[in-house]
Amino acid sequence: MADGIASIVGSWHFIIVQSILLFGWLVINSVAWIKGWDPYPFILLNLVLSFQAAFTAPIIMMSQNRQSEVDRQKAEADYTVNIKAEEDICGLHEKMDLLREQDVARLIGLLETVIEDNRALREELAKRD
């Protein structure tokens, strides 16, 4: 409810309507040929606006407090998601490192086989000469 009131009070529509009402109040109570209900210095208008300010400010603060709580919860959810993503990325790095180590070990084995085959071929060629 506080959010709804805060969104209405914080809109241009509200400001325009309130300005028109205030202007009308001042005109009706200032024109000499109409007997106004709140003559200058507009004590009743001052009282109405004071009540409006007294109730609007706490409602806006309540809305801000609720929005702060929503923002805090979103930040906590983002933090949790980020931690989970970091853990997943670390796991992927470990898997990539393991695969790289396995590939290097396999390549070293193949290289040793090629070197051994090369040595054997040289020895056989040396015997033929």
pLDDT at 33: 72
Distance CA(29)–CA(97), nearest Å, equals 83
pTM: 0.57
The confidence score (pLDDT) of residue 112 equals 97
Give the residue from 63, 83, 73, 91 showing the smallest Cα distance to 3: 63
For tokens 């015997």, the residue is 127
pLDDT at 1: 82
Task: Show the tokens assigned to 126.
Answer: 């040396």
Query: What tens-digit pLDDT sequence spans the chain (129 residues)?
Result: 878 888 888 889 999 999 999 999 888 888 867 777 888 888 999 999 999 999 999 999 999 999 999 999 999 999 999 999 999 999 999 999 999 999 999 999 999 999 999 999 999 998 887
HSE, side-chain direction, 13 A CA sphere, residue 56: 12
Give the domain ranges of the chain: 2-93
pLDDT attached to residue 32: 67
